[in-house]
Amino acid sequence: MNAVQLQQAVKVYAESIGIDKIGFTTAAPFRELKNRLKRQQELGYQSGFEEKDLEKRTEPALLLDQAESIIAIAVAYPSKMTNSPKGKKGERRGIFCRASWGTDYHTVLREKLRLLEAFIVQYVPDAKLRSMVDTGELSDRAVAERAGIGWSAKNCSIITPEFGSYVYLGEMITNIPFSPDVPMEDECGDCRLCLDVCPTGALIQGGQLNAQRCIAFLTQSKTPIPEEFRMEFGNRLYGCDTCQTVCPKNKGKQNLHQQAFQPEPELAKPLLQPMLKLSNREFKETYGHVSGSWRGKNPIQRNAIIALAHFKEVSAVPELIDMLEQDPRPMIRGTIAWALSQIGAEEGLLAIQEAMEKEQDAHVLAELQNALDNWKEQF
């Protein structure tokens, strides 16, 4: 089989294993990306989750000896929950973003890439292949853009005409000279809806994100959330979809066909109060298979407290007071101090005053003082 026939066979096989879109590009360096990443670093706009080495992020040849091409894949995920939990009075729920619905996409896409590697090796036994999904050195988006999967949009997503921006991306560097696809034209045009609706102004300009202000990244932070962003979280427990859900290019794109990503309603939109005291084990058993669990339970429980403050949920106050007194985690106690000051029940004020007498941690003491100041301002 020659390279052209192999490329065709790879496309057909990819479709048969549920890869929704495939594209090919060369293994040439991503020069423009390198300049962009440098600027992001200088401005302090990075999330901190990225590979630090810019050479590795932009030069495929450093990652695979004799790299010739990169195969980009996209697998669509649902934008709509068809079996959403029925809202009941007094029940407050949080939300995991769509990229955390169903089985962790890293697992699903890695398995598809593993199958694709095995397929290629059947025909090219000495092929050199290296696959990655999200956590690899390369930028999935830069690869997908150059391989013609979609255009790099102003909301920093890759938008495909078929599935909108609701696609997971992965890639495989190869030493096979596949012929490259043509990148797509940018179709954002004059639209700037995503920039205008972003609750924290994290989209600086089309295609440039300050991750330090982006709720999607902030919800994953293991450190206390700066106060200016807390109310903007709303009931988000993990991630933020706002700049995708408003995008006109996503209109009507439901993508319900991938079984692995069907949301389990009670996990995707869980009740907030039962989350507060989940043990590590309970959290892992319940949420361990979804991508939103990768930072562990602490950020999610902190975000659940913020969500209860957003709802001003008075029925949560006794449990929050109990945790303010007992919980060993300063970030949790500090967030509760703030939450009590937002909910505004009288017993919350007493609990904050009492905690000030006993608290030893400097960060929590500062939060308690701030909560008292908030209280005086608001009530």
Q: Is the Cβ of residue 114 or residue 251 nearer to ligand SF4 in the bound state?
A: 251
Given the rule CB under 6 A, which of 44-52, 129-137, 201-209, 269-277 is the region that contacts ligand SF4? 201-209
Neighbours of 244 (CB within 10 A): 24
- β-pairing, 21-26 vs 69-76, is antiparallel
Residue 134's identity, in one-letter code, is D
Structure tokens at 241: 């979809």
Given the rule CB under 6 A, which of 14-22, 210-218, 311-319, 355-363 is the region that contacts ligand SF4? 210-218
Does 155 help bind ligand SF4 (rule: CB under 6 A)?
yes
H or E element at residue 112? helix 105-123
User: Binding residue for ligand SF4 (CB under 6 A) from 64, 124, 193, 204?
Assistant: 193
Per this entry, what is the length of the chain?
Answer: 379
Given the rule CB under 6 A, which of 24-32, 240-248, 281-289, 291-299 is the region that contacts ligand SF4? 240-248
Q: How far is the CB of 7 from ligand SF4 (least distance, A)?
A: 30
User: Binding residue for ligand SF4 (CB under 6 A) from 81, 191, 256, 356?
Assistant: 191
Q: How far is the CB of 348 from ligand SF4 (least distance, A)?
A: 29
Strand partners, 132: 171
Residues of span 125-154 touching ligand SF4 by CB under 6 A = 153-154
H/E/C letters for each residue in 4-66? HHHHHHHHHHHHHCCCCEEEEEECCCCHHHHHHHHHHHHHCCCCCCCCCCHHHHHCHHHCCCC
User: Dihedral (C-alpha) 225, 231, 232, 237: value to the nearest 10 degrees?
Assistant: 70
Does 40 help bind ligand SF4 (rule: CB under 6 A)?
no
Given the rule CB under 6 A, which of 33-41, 121-129, 195-203, 290-298 is the region that contacts ligand SF4? 195-203
Given the rule CB under 6 A, which of 42-50, 53-61, 65-73, 190-198 is the region that contacts ligand SF4? 190-198
Q: Nearest-5° angle of CA 50, CA 54, CA 60?
A: 100
DSSP, collapsed to helix, strand or coil, labels residue 193 as helix
Q: How far is the CB of 229 from ligand SF4 (least distance, A)?
A: 9
Does 184 help bind ligand SF4 (rule: CB under 6 A)?
no
With tokens 């009740």, the residue in question is: 271
Does 215 help bind ligand SF4 (rule: CB under 6 A)?
yes
Q: How far is the CB of 27 from ligand SF4 (least distance, A)?
A: 28
Q: How far is the CB of 270 from ligand SF4 (least distance, A)?
A: 20
With tokens 């990169």, the residue in question is: 70
- Is residue 134 among the annotated active site residues? yes
Does 192 help bind ligand SF4 (rule: CB under 6 A)?
yes
Structure tokens at 1: 């089989």
H or E element at residue 336? helix 330-343
With tokens 């109310």, the residue in question is: 231
Distance separating alpha carbons of residues 209 and 202, to the nearest angstrom: 6
Identify whether the C-beta of residue 349 lies closer than 8 Å to the C-beta of residue 375. Answer: yes
Given the rule CB under 6 A, which of 134-142, 192-200, 275-283, 339-347 is the region that contacts ligand SF4? 192-200
Does 216 help bind ligand SF4 (rule: CB under 6 A)?
yes
Does 188 help bind ligand SF4 (rule: CB under 6 A)?
yes
- CB burial string 295-323: b at 16+ within 10 A, e below: eebebbbbbbbbbbbbbebeebbebbbeb
Does 240 help bind ligand SF4 (rule: CB under 6 A)?
yes
- β-pairing, 208-209 vs 236-238, is unpaired
Does 204 help bind ligand SF4 (rule: CB under 6 A)?
no
* Active-site residue, from 104, 134, 241, 373: 134
User: Binding residue for ligand SF4 (CB under 6 A) from 93, 130, 249, 310?
Assistant: 249
Identify whether the C-beta of residue 102 lies closer than 8 Å to the C-beta of residue 263. Answer: yes
Q: Is the Cβ of residue 183 or residue 344 nearer to ligand SF4 in the bound state?
A: 183
Residues of span 107-126 touching ligand SF4 by CB under 6 A = none
Q: How far is the CB of 34 from ligand SF4 (least distance, A)?
A: 23
User: Binding residue for ligand SF4 (CB under 6 A) from 203, 276, 278, 309?
Assistant: 203
H/E/C letters for each residue in 306-322? HHHHHCCCHHHHHHHHH
Nearest Cα to Cα of residue 215 among 194, 236, 197, 192 = 236
Residues at the contact surface with ligand SF4, assessed by CB under 6 A: 153-155, 188, 191-194, 198-200, 202-203, 209, 214-216, 240, 242-243, 246-249
Query: Which residues are identified as catalytic?
Result: 134
